[in-house]
Amino acid sequence: MSRSQWRIGIAGLGNVGAGVLNFLSERPDFAPAGAQAVVTGVSARSRSRPRPFDISNLTWFDDPVELARSPDNDLFVELIGGSDGPAKAAVEAALKAGKPVVTANKAMIAEHGAELAVLAEAQGVPLLFEAAVMGGTPAVKMLREAMVGDDVRSVAGILNGTCNYILTEMQSTGAAFADVLAEAQRLGYAEADPTMDVGGFDAAHKISILAALAFGCAPNYAAAEVEGIDQIDLLDIQLAKDLGYRIKLVASASRSEDGVLVRVHPSLTPIDHPLAQTGGALNALFIEGTRIGRIFIQGPGAGSGPTAAAVSADIADVMTGAVRPVFQRPAAALQPFTPVDPSRNHGRAYLRFMVKDEPGVIAAVSETLAEAGVSIESFLQKPVQDAAGVPIVLTTHSVAESVLSAAIERIAGLPAVIDRPRLLRIARV
Ligand code: HSE
């Protein structure tokens, strides 16, 4: 059905909501379909909170579910956030009312995407979420639409701008994690509760969504292995640099005959690698297709303007009347997501042991590794001022992670080892 106007309801008026409202008020005719996109109703936690834009001419809804159901709008935009609660209730209400939904909510799509896809597809309406991953950088449409002619083998990249900003600052200023985080919070780059970002969970939501789009399976956030950056010591950033690497929070998903592996880990990337060169709050992603080969995209992963641009692109898609499967194929035909058995994981690693500076320690460490069958690739011992003990740093050739963990346990038990060992993966991207 072609219309001259689409009436839009927006729930959530934070940074992104403000960006969408501003853009649509200035450019209601932006969409290629030719119709006008006009915001008619809004909902947020507080009606009276001072805002740098005027909502007095819009219909206010205390309850986002009521906005979602209202017959006075044709398209519902969810920008509340959170995997469950009012965001999910409102999205379900809009879909049940047969209304297209645009959302930026990665937690909800990663954790409930499959059931929401069933609902949207049963109603024959689109459920779009370009802004959920990489903000303004179009990763979702690329995988869902542009890559369907290929079989994607893997996706891997930097999907959390807050972590990338913190790691970049630690590396360039020599400040510790806690100090950089506090400064990032003061500047508004990091949330008051930074757990979702620095714990790796935000990146895990995003890579779970990309895995679903890339491999045609349902998102399976529960199967993601997640490690954040909150345990990264400045010392490891400096020692990694001496070895020719930068530490980045790398989110990756790969498919093989063993199943699907989705993980988020701080990882060493060679200094001249495009991921190592992705600084500040930027995001970046490699996509590897069987026929297309490797694609690299980089851009802003957050921010009002870029994220609102992604939301607006989805609004424009809805206005064209196109209705696609929510993930790469219809919900009923999504492939089962078989996680790879963790005992099959292998890769190269960086290890650091703080040891007493006394004879025989290096021999004891390397003997333990040799007995376990772990092959050392490079080795560095570097006195550090004011440190209790000396760091021994080594990188390994590819090894089964279960074998490596057992060897590390044994080394941790040596009398000369005075702190918990640190293990970081070397990225395979
Ligand atoms: N908190 C996210 C980040 C931005 O730091 O990348 C929104 O997805």
Per residue in 362-415, pLDDT (tens digit) is 999 999 999 999 999 999 988 777 777 899 999 999 999 999 999 999 999 999
Q: Binning pLDDT at 50, 70 and 90, where does residue 188 land?
A: confident
Q: Binning pLDDT at 50, 70 and 90, where does residue 311 land?
A: very high
Establish whether residue 300 lines the binding site of ligand 1, counting it when its CB lies within 6 angstroms of any ligand atom.
no
Amino acid letter at 360?
G
pLDDT score at 341: 84
Task: Compute, in angstroms, the gap from residue 236 CA to the centroid of ligand 1.
Answer: 24
φ, ψ (nearest 5 deg) of residue 243: -90, 0
Indicate which atom in ligand 1 lies nearest the CA of residue 133. 8
Q: What ranges make up the beta strands (E) of 171-226?
A: 225-226
Indicate which atom in ligand 1 lies nearest the CA of residue 283. 6
φ, ψ (nearest 5 deg) of residue 42: -140, 160
Best of 165, 187, 202 for a ligand 1 pocket test (most atoms within 8 Å of beta carbon): 202
Residue nearest (by alpha carbon) to ligand 1 atom 2: 160
Would you say residue 187 has pLDDT above 90?
A: no
Establish whether residue 130 lines the binding site of ligand 1, counting it when its CB lies within 6 angstroms of any ligand atom.
no
Residue nearest (by alpha carbon) to ligand 1 atom 8: 302
Would you say residue 2 has pLDDT above 80?
A: no
Indicate which atom in ligand 1 lies nearest the CA of residue 163. 5
Average pLDDT over residues 326-335: 92
Q: Binning pLDDT at 50, 70 and 90, where does residue 237 land?
A: very high
DSSP string, 20-80: HHHHHHH-TT-STT--EEEEEEEE-S-SSS--SS--TTSEE-SSHHHHHH-TT-SEEEE--
Q: Which residues are catalytic?
A: 206
- 267-289 per-position pLDDT tens digit: 999 999 999 999 999 999 999 99
Q: Binning pLDDT at 50, 70 and 90, where does residue 328 land?
A: confident
CB 21 within 8 A of CB 39: yes
CB 349 within 8 A of CB 230: no
Q: Binning pLDDT at 50, 70 and 90, where does residue 218 land?
A: very high
pTM of the model: 0.96
pLDDT score at 52: 87
Average pLDDT over residues 79-105: 98
Domains, in order of start, for the chain: 5-136+308-333 (3.40.50.720), 139-299 (3.30.360.10), 343-426 (3.30.70.260)
Q: Which region, left, alpha or beta, applies to residue 136 given φ > 0 means left and ψ of -120 to 50 means alpha? A: alpha
- Fill in the DSSP letter of residue 269: E
Establish whether residue 203 lines the binding site of ligand 1, counting it when its CB lies within 6 angstroms of any ligand atom.
no
Distance, in Å, from the CA atom of 219 to the CA atom of 112, rounded to the nearest integer, reads 8
Least confident of 251-255, 334-338, 358-362: 334-338
CB 100 within 8 A of CB 75: yes
Establish whether residue 162 lines the binding site of ligand 1, counting it when its CB lies within 6 angstroms of any ligand atom.
yes
Task: Compute, in angstroms, the gap from residue 376 CA to the centroid of ligand 1.
Answer: 37
* Better pLDDT: 115 or 258: 115
Establish whether residue 160 lines the binding site of ligand 1, counting it when its CB lies within 6 angstroms of any ligand atom.
yes
pLDDT score at 189: 81
Task: Compute, in angstroms, the gap from residue 6 CA to the centroid of ligand 1.
Answer: 29
DSSP string, 10-33: EE--SHHHHHHHHHHHH-TT-STT
pLDDT score at 202: 98
Would you say residue 101 has pLDDT above 60?
A: yes
Measured from the Cβ of residue 304, the count of other Cβ atoms closer than 10 Å reads 18
Tokens 């699907």 correspond to what residue? 260
Q: What percent of the chain has pLDDT over 90?
A: 88
